[in-house]
Amino acid sequence: MNGSGLHPDTVEVGANPFSRWAVLAIVLLGAALFMALLWMIGTGTGFSETNDGQAHAEGRGLNGYAAMAQYLEKRGHPVHKTRNVGALDKPGLLVLTPPAFADGKAIDKIVAKRRYIGPTLVLSPKWLPFPASREQEKKGAQKGWVNIEDVGSLEWPGFLDDVTVGRAPARGRAGALAWHGLGVDGALPSRKAVQWGRGINLVPLVQDEQGQILAGFIADGGDYPELARAAGVTLETGEDEDGLYPLVVVFEPDLVDNWGMADRRSAQLIDALVAASAVRPGEDITFDLTLNGFGRAQNLLTLAFTPPFLAATLCLMMAALVLGWRAFLRFGPPAVSGRAIAFGKRALVANAAGLVRRTGRLHLISRPYADHARERLVRALGLPRTLDGADADAAIDRALAARDPGAEPFSRIAARLRLARRSQELVKAARDLHALERKLIR
């Protein structure tokens, strides 16, 4: 035992092993991680690898468009990479990067739905990618880098069936095949092949030195003054086609993909294409990932983190934060619970009194209380213990009359106590009896 009467290894019962701020930090960290998990589940972030070497906005290989997306973002356009089909009908420019064997009807459905919402830019694929070899990785090839081969024929039945897509050797007069259009000129990075398009309603925007159309838009009766001015043509617009947005197709992907973006003239061409598509500065640009196999279905968690439901989610989070803070800053110190049964005679009497009061039988203790008071006075006054109740009461009355002739006799107070039924009468008689005891014993 030590000086305090406790064993050195004894731990105080009910002591908090954590400080107040440690508990707050644990709660906040757990809540933040839980909300982050819900956000990742709702948005699909972190659950699939998008840098897979394919031709889309997350692809970082030669055939990808990650550089184009980053460039447009640097130019002040809010860039979105969506995996949700429901997000494809938002205002602004939509960039579609369907693979070579995509469903043409699915592409046409997306484009047709947007004709009165915003312009659409379709980037055609040309290369078949292969992952980098181990030898290339040892030499510094990064994740997503690819080797490319010609993909062959490009067919999307159900989408622009009146447009023919073909390939030819990419040989120019000076070696690399030159291109020009929209006030910009340059040369293709590859000499393997060039991909071109041809159609009755296809208006050229970018052509190579042989006159083949590398990028153009569809003249479908809509009024496209920016595109008509950039192409140097006059369009015949229909009366029922007012309000249509244009469809622009890039047949030669090396004009704008990561490989082509190594040349600053490709960046200038992207600026010209976006401006000619009636996209204002600072307007949203959405890159589709659903056609590339990264689509996901709409769910409640997705809606919770999508406007306008995002406002309700933020309000619920703020309400939870306020409730947690109020619970953390509770009013007053925490209540300290005592022992169920305290030590000592006084605590035992208090517990017994509480039990009697709860049972509603307070009047049953009046007679035993009067009898015990008489026994105490008999001992204190030195009276014979053989006296019966009436004789003992009479002897106590005589002793009281000798000390205080005007005082109420003991026998009368005891009788009043024994006959009491209400708690007020019982307490008053008990107090009078206690005062009489003090008067006789002192």
Query: What tens digit of pLDDT does each residue of 91-128 get?
Result: 999 999 999 888 999 999 999 999 899 999 999 999 88
pLDDT lower than 70: segments of the chain: 1-18, 41-49, 152, 238-242, 295-306, 330-343
| Rounded Cα–Cα distance for residues 113 and 154 (Å) | 23
| Rounded Cα–Cα distance for residues 207 and 197 (Å) | 10
| Rounded Cα–Cα distance for residues 60 and 52 (Å) | 8
Give residues with Cβ within 8 angstroms of 62, minimum separation 6. Answer: 127, 129, 145, 146, 148, 257, 258, 259
Q: Are strands 163-168 and 194-199 parallel, antiparallel or unpaired?
A: antiparallel
Sign of the dihedral defined by the CA atoms of residues 404, 406, 412, 417, in that order: negative
Helix axes of 66-74 and 264-276: crossing angle, nearest 10 degrees: 70
| Residues 381, 395 contacting (CB under 8 angstroms) | yes
Q: What is the CA radius of gyration of the chain?
A: 47
For residue 176, how many C-alpha atoms fall within 13 Å in the half-sphere facing its CB? 11
Question: Running DSSP on this structure, what letter comes out for residue 254?
Answer: G
* pLDDT, position 332: 55
Quick one: tokens of 434?
Answer: 């206690």
Question: In Å, how far are 241, 248, 274 from 212, measured between CA atoms?
Answer: 29, 16, 21
| Residues 426, 366 contacting (CB under 8 angstroms) | yes
Quick one: tokens of 32?
Answer: 């933040």
| Rounded Cα–Cα distance for residues 157 and 172 (Å) | 32
| Rounded Cα–Cα distance for residues 334 and 14 (Å) | 11
Averaged pLDDT of the chain: 82
| Rounded Cα–Cα distance for residues 77 and 277 (Å) | 14
CA–centroid distance for 185 within its chain: 47
pTM for the structure as a whole: 0.60
